[in-house]
Chain A
Amino acid sequence: MKFVSEYRDPKAAEQLASAIRKKVTRPWTIMEICGGQTHTIVKSGLEDILPKEITLVHGPGCPVCVTPIELIDKAVAIAKRPDAIFCSFGDMLRVPGSSKSLFDAKAEGADVRIVYSPLDALKLAKQNPEKQVVFFAVGFETTAPANAMAAWQADHDGIENFSLLVSHVLVPPAMKALLSSQNCVVQGFLAAGHVCTIMGFEEYFPIAQKYRVPIVVTGFEPLDLLEGIHMVASQLEDGRHEVENQYSRAVKREGNRPAQKTISEVFEISPRQWRGLGEIPASGFQLRGRFQKYDANRRFPFEGVPAQESPDCISGLILQGLKKPHECGAFGVKCTPENPLGAPMVSSEGACAAYYHYGRRQNVQPELSRPASR
């Protein structure tokens, strides 16, 4: 596949890994923001070809993981209504709420459907005028334009039996929150490439300057990640803290203007709860103006039960990159993909799930040991 396969070329990967090995002289901790990047790193065993000096920590780039438990409960409650068709991306189906997930609700008879695009949900609304079609609008800025367009087209076509349950989260506020924490160990960032495709990377310049961290907008294939790591490592070795764009084939500094325009027409910035991290101000989207009529939160009143906390789940520490999944006492024992205690174990992008599926438990890692640098 063009623009995919070449970025998986083994020889090029080894060349870049070798360049990184030659570059680093001391340990550095780098965080990749996006779950999709975590997925590639773990799936290709990228850490095995990096020098020991580079430690990658996985950031909170999993909107599935950070969707508040109350919202899952709300989704389940709506899905169970006999007049509702609840649509969602596949990722959200297995995330546990206070007592059950959407998948469980489906097993109990709720009409829950996986869709590829929010426009598919809108189509279902047109085809089923007697039902309430609700779409679980989860995601970072990358998915916001698509969700915005679904609301915009619904308004344009006068569709009333359609609504969005919104759980959008924004990356830069999360990065700032992480960086201002006293426990922050991250020295450089691989910024989320597809988020930046939409939003551009203007917002990162003040962050890089204030916190003195290099930020490199990075793609998702092995070569992208290796090049991004090389660029961050070079900055760190040189003592620079700039914003650079590795993913230049897809990302422009100003981002995607038409997408930004539609987002600002349909959404406005709001405070948001991040599961595992708490509330971060100005870190989410909510529907605004004439699009508020599509807000499922308003349309379906809901008396929630307060969410129960499990003391064993340390997802907050995982999402900040302070601990690795296999350092959690519950990992692989009490907390497994079949019986997850926290969202990072459920989502296919969650750090815990990635570790569980690809890296297994601690005792596997030493046997798949990494080469010494140089």
Chain B
Amino acid sequence: MCLAVPGKIVEIMDAGDPAFRRAKVDFGGIKKEISLAYTPEAEIGKYVLVHVGFAISVIDEEEAMRVFEYLKQMGNIEEELGEVRQ
């Protein structure tokens, strides 16, 4: 039960009470207003994962690169070993 989509925060609407804090999030060109009640640390410019109208996590951009760095390393090793990829 898990459709959550990452988007970039472009505007924040504070309402005093963190439970009512909302944001405008940009999903690749389309914007939707969502709740930031569960991501009090979210700020403009950060990416959040949005599920049924709520941001449930702020994306850790460093961790997001991890798999690509690993693949790059793997690729370099294979090149060095002269392996032919299928």
Contacts and interface: CB of A to CB of B under 8 A. Distances in A.
A153 B4 contact: no
A256 to B, nearest CB: 6
The 3 closest A-B pairs by CB, nearest first: A117-B53, A36-B2, A1-B28
Contacts of B28: 1-2, 4
B3 A197 contact: no
Contact of A249 (B3, B39, B59, B85): B59
Nearest to B49: A250
A266 to B, nearest CB: 12
Contact of A145 (B5, B47, B54): B54
Given A16-B71, A120-B53, A220-B2, A258 B63 contact: no
Most B Cβ at <10 Å: residue of A15, A139, A220, A371: A15
Interface residues of A, number: 55
B68 A12 contact: yes
B86 to A, nearest CB: 6
B74 A146 contact: no
A258 B57 contact: no
Contacts of A18: 85-86
Contact of A34 (B1, B51, B74, B75): B1
Nearest to A258: B38
A118 B2 contact: no
A31 interface: no
A142 B63 CA distance: 21
B60 interface: yes
B61 to A, nearest CB: 7
A152 B19 contact: yes
A262 B18 CA distance: 12
Interface of B: 1-6, 8, 18-20, 27-28, 35, 37-40, 47, 49, 51-54, 56-57, 59-61, 63-64, 66-68, 71, 74-75, 85-86
A71 interface: no
A259 interface: yes
A6 B86 contact: no
Nearest to A12: B71
A142 B56 contact: yes
B38 A145 contact: yes
Given A3-B64, A145-B54, A152-B19, A197 B4 contact: yes
Contacts of A153: 19-20
Given A3-B6, A258-B37, A146 B75 contact: no
Contacts of B1: 34-36, 61-64, 138-140, 142-143, 194-195, 349
Given A18-B86, A256-B57, A259-B38, A142 B6 contact: no
Interface in A188-238: 192-195, 197-198, 220, 223, 227
A156 to B, nearest CB: 8
